[in-house]
Structure 1
Amino acid sequence: MFRQKEIYGTVAVKMCLFPLVFYEICQFLQVPHDITLTMSILPTLPSMAVIVMLAQNQRSAGNYAAGMLLVTTLCSIVTIPLVCLGLG
């Protein structure tokens, strides 16, 4: 599971790039700072465990979903502090 490159691409976009871009868009639209900060930090959290159950229930890539959950959980240890530093 750790050798699949698309998982790391997803982690980079979902957990690093999206929060920073979203923060800048909210700053441009003058959304209140506390709302902007909260909504920018939420994507850095790991994926929900229910995604694995839904994938298995639909008979669709349950193992891939479980691997993605594991990788996002491990990467969140690094991405949450990085994004918080990037947001200032």
Structure 2
Amino acid sequence: MGCLEALKPEVILSQSSFKEAREYIKKNVREYHEVEPGYKIHDVHIIGVPPLYVGIEGENLIFPYTKPCHGTFVVKVAGGEEIARLRARKGK
């Protein structure tokens, strides 16, 4: 399992609920994709209550990340090859 801190995330929304994180992405990010719980971005697994959204903004990914005992955060990280992988899922 990867470490979110290694990705140098920008925290956009902190200590939110799964619903608040989902609504933030849905309302503020033009391109977003629904993923299943456990979906992996750069070896970091996303957990939460479906539907879970991962947004694409330029060359960055925006997604909810839950830290036990700290809550759910919406973070932005560099997307790299993960953007193409996420977009490729759309046809499946």
Alignment TM class, shorter chain as reference:
under 0.3
Q: Which of structures 1 and 2 has the bigger CA Rg?
A: 1
More helix, by proportion? 1
More strand, by proportion? 2
Query: Which gives a bigger RCO, structure 1 or 2 (Cα 8 Å, sep 6+)?
Result: 1
TM-score (normalised: structure 2): 0.24
